[in-house]
Structure 1
Amino acid sequence: MKKAEKIKKTLKETKGKRKNQVGKVYQIKLQNLSKQDEENLNRLFLEAKWLYNYIVADIKNRLNSTAWKLKEVKIKTPKEIEKREIKTLSSQMRQGIVDRIKHSLKALRKAKEKGLKVGKLQFKSEVRSIPLKQYGITYKISRDRNRVKIQGIKKKFRVLGLHQIPQNTEIANGILVKKSSGYYLYVTCYLPKNEVVEEIRRNRIPKAVGIDLGIKDQLTLSTGEKISWYIPETGRIKKLQKRLLKKQKGSNNYRKIKFLIQKEWEYIQNKRKDTLNKVVSHLKKFCLIAVQDDPIKSWHEGLFGRQVQNTGIGGITARLRNLATLIPVVFVDRYTPTTQTCSKCGNRQKIPLSERVFKCEVCGFELDRDWKSAIEILKEGLRKIKGEGKLLKTLPVDCGEVKPVERATALVEAGSLPLKW
């Protein structure tokens, strides 16, 4: 009982401490790996797959309080069912895998309650990530020697990227990840919230901004900027996929080409992530962000599914939701008629998608439809927080006066052109 009370007390203290901290994940790469090192790491991921599939095969009987204590499992081979011993995977890693199965079952249950069609957990052909629950036990970091020690493996690995982690940070759990380009350690750190906010405020400009999401121009800001990017599949992927079709499934050549395809996909995903990082870094400079909560997922099902996929625009709204804990971000309802409303007189009229310039039938006001929509989104965002009585609380002290967004239309008369990236 004393141990249980001590754990509860520690968890309560940690929750209270986390309220004044900001979580951040740093990526560290394991370097200078020998063949023996790769074999040891591959063994970890292989045992993780065996344990996961063994429990999933009979969840009712095998998913219990002692599931993490399993040291021997049965696996199905093409010939027969064989017993395999779990040697490298530590007890805490096994606990993490068991918790992962429980979380997956919980997510399936929630989806079923919403009325969605769900099946059961499927077997994994390959496990690519292993949770490391506790810093100092499942993994350790030696800053002075630039090394990382992973539980279950004797050798300390040399790593690249350890300098990213600040000295005043609190290191928490991690994840060991296997990619086609190598092995990575994702370290979760907690930084003091006041320091992170202060760093953002130093580069902040006293201006609010509205964001309109689109297909041709991914982001149109109420300031007149248009931000566009497009990162399609490379020609190399298409060639490799054609070669893969000609190989026998399960052969060595099949696995080699599949590995090359995975490596190429990783390269493309890294480019998309880098673009999103740069865009979000630019948006963080504004003292208030207003964005319409568009159903990006439904855009994939339309005619522009490929364009949406190749830009990864859905990641913008997800990143802004995470950013809302540090700077004011307002989400405007998706059904707000921002495209149909005139920014000058407030007249509402229908405008087809083919018309890229809005022209008011009442006052004759004329402006690019996306730009005008961004202005309306900012108006609605300011109206929303003002109506909720949160304007003074939401806007930072150093934000300055939020000027009426109608003044942005003066840029058109001045002859300013939107900026393209």
Structure 2
Amino acid sequence: MIVREAKLLNGTKEQYQAVDDAILAAQFIRNKAVRYWIDNQGVDKADLYKLCKDLAASFDFALKLNSAARQASAERAWTSISSFYKRCKKQEKKKGYPKFKKHSRSVEYKVSGWKLSDDCKIITFTDGFKIGSLSVFCNSSTREDLHRLKINRVRVVRKADGYYAQFCFDADRKEVGIYTGNVVGLDLGLKYFTKDQNDNAVIYPQFLRKSEGRLKKRSKRLSKKFLLGKKPQSNNYHKARKRLGRVHLKIQRQRKDWAIKQARCVVHSNDVIVYEDLKIANMVKNHYLAKSISDASWYQFTQWLDYYGQIWDKAVVAVSPNYTSQDCSNCGRRVKKALSTRTHSCPKCSMEICRDTNAAINILKKGMKILGSEWQDNSTSGQEESASIDEGKHGEKTTNTIDGKPDIASGFL
């Protein structure tokens, strides 16, 4: 599925209020569906669809919402329920029991309830809330997709700086990749955002740290506008709240833009990318490093690595980070060291190397082993580091598998 986003402009105050009412109605139906599942055993997706019809007959504001939008809200509830069932079958520690939504920010329409103009510049919502027509502002590539592809769903999202329409297309994005024969192992960290086996480092800009002054200033002004039990939530309070939200939104967009550009550059330059699969939820429990870990946004970066790997048909492998910093990449001896120790010194082979570079080499070796290949470090002989891929008889490349799926790593040779 491809999602394209466009901003909704030229709307009146009454139109935007109607959008908020539609979002609240969708939230109501979603919460009612979760409650119905809690109170009744053996409820399936079809039962939630029937519930939408009963809610429309009982509540006038639910009837105003388009019937397909009501079903989409029930599907959101069923998504959280089915995810809960999957985690229970896998016997995970955190089951993620479905919760009620308190602050929803979006409503989703299917193929009805909206209409896009022929030039794709105006979208009109035709349900009972009478939102009317809104201008669609987007870039040229998004407008081309609106003309060319079939739109399956339209999602209206409220953000700190306005309202957006997200158009969902049922299509897979595929592009022709440029294969270079390079492999890379990435060690994720705080001092260096990434460091590879060639000692190439990338430093993270620390967007949250740079914006802390503005965040504190906006938060302080917000706290003066409202005191629980003394001052009501006035119009000035909501204006200050939106200003604070826009600062957070800018940081979020900066992180996303950074992650996309870095991931695209890495996948474009290499054919096999191996990174460590960090358990970030456990790492942020360290209160001394939680803010820096959250600011680094490792998870978002790795998600975009996987995304571009699928687009360009390249191998992106996640490996366990266990002992990658402790084990010597040359002889394999485990040398325990504290987090403050930044140099790996092996007493067995007398190797001295940067701690992160040593970890990157171990990460790359793990990933190549998963792919059924072997990575050899020839840097000591003055040659560049290379990866040797096992070949079958008569010079034919062997096809490896990962979790039962064909390995795409053999395609870059």
The answer to whether the superposition gives a TM-score over 0.5 is yes
Q: 1:287-306, aligned counterparts within 5 Å?
A: 287-302=271-286, 303-306=288-291
Q: 1:39-50, aligned counterparts within 5 Å?
A: 39-50=17-28
Give the drift of 1:375.
1.7
Q: Is the 8 A contact 1:297 1:314 kept in 2?
A: no
Q: Which residue in the other structure is 2:260 paired with?
A: 277
Paired letter, 1:131: E
User: 2 CA distance for matches of 1:379 and 1:57?
Assistant: 49
Tell me, yes or no, if structure 1 residue 383 matches structure 2 residue 369.
Answer: yes
Match for residue 148 of structure 1 among 123, 146, 153: 123
TM-score by length of 1: 0.75
Q: Which residue in the other structure is 2:166 paired with?
A: 186
Match for residue 326 of structure 2 among 312, 330, 340: 340
Paired letter, 2:293: V
Q: Which residue in the other structure is 1:320 paired with?
A: 305
Change in Cα spacing, 1:314 to 1:185, as seen in structure 2 (3 Å) is: same
User: 1 CA distance for matches of 2:96 and 2:265?
Assistant: 39
Give the drift of 1:372.
1.9
- For the aligned residue pairs, the C-alpha RMSD in angstroms reads 2.9
Q: Which residue in the other structure is 2:67 paired with?
A: 91
Give the drift of 1:346.
3.6
Change in Cα spacing, 1:192 to 1:292, as seen in structure 2 (3 Å) is: closer
Match for residue 190 of structure 2 among 215, 220, 224: 215
Give the drift of 1:333.
2.3
Change in Cα spacing, 1:288 to 1:268, as seen in structure 2 (3 Å) is: same
Q: 1:238-277, aligned counterparts within 5 Å?
A: 238-246=216-224, 247-249=226-228, 250-252=232-234, 253-277=236-260
Q: Which residue in the other structure is 1:77 paired with?
A: none
Give the drift of 1:344.
3.2
Paired letter, 2:354: D
Single out whichever of 322-331 and 295-304 deviates more from structure 2: 322-331
Give the drift of 1:396.
5.2
Q: 1:8-407, aligned counterparts within 5 Å?
A: 23-55=1-33, 60=39, 64-69=48-53, 70-71=55-56, 85-86=61-62, 88-111=64-87, 114-116=92-94, 121-122=99-100, 124=102, 126-134=103-111, 137-142=112-117, 144-152=119-127, 153=130, 155-161=132-138, 163-165=140-142, 166-167=144-145, 168-191=148-171, 196-198=174-176, 201-202=177-178, 204-229=179-204, 230-232=206-208, 233-246=211-224, 247-249=226-228, 250-252=232-234, 253-285=236-268, 286-302=270-286, 303-325=288-310, 326-335=313-322, 337-386=323-372, 390=400, 393-395=407-409, 397=411, 399-400=412-413
Q: Count matched residues.
A: 359
Paired letter, 1:177: V
Summarize deviations over 1:181-237 as a string: whole Å, max 9, x none. 1111112234455xx231xx14x4331110101122121122322112111143222
Q: Is the 8 A contact 2:264 2:305 kept in 1?
A: no
Paired letter, 1:173: R
User: 1 CA distance for matches of 2:360 and 2:154?
Assistant: 39
Give the drift of 1:35.
2.4
User: 2 CA distance for matches of 1:192 and 1:55?
Assistant: 31
Paired letter, 1:281: R
Paired letter, 2:81: L
Paired letter, 1:390: N
Summarize deviations over 1:245-270 as a string: whole Å, max 9, x none. 34135521333322222222111111
User: 2 CA distance for matches of 1:89 and 1:241?
Assistant: 36
User: 2 CA distance for matches of 1:228 and 1:164?
Assistant: 31
SS of equivalent to 1:206: coil
SS of equivalent to 1:244: helix
Give the drift of 1:39.
2.8
Change in Cα spacing, 1:176 to 1:347, as seen in structure 2 (3 Å) is: same
Summarize deviations over 1:84-125 as a string: whole Å, max 9, x none. 53454101101111121222233345556534476663352x
TM-score by length of 2: 0.77
Change in Cα spacing, 1:317 to 1:43, as seen in structure 2 (3 Å) is: same
Summarize deviations over 1:135-157 as a string: whole Å, max 9, x none. xx244434525222334246332
SS of equivalent to 1:284: helix
Change in Cα spacing, 1:291 to 1:123, as seen in structure 2 (3 Å) is: closer
SS of equivalent to 1:66: helix
Q: Is the 8 A contact 2:267 2:309 kept in 1?
A: no
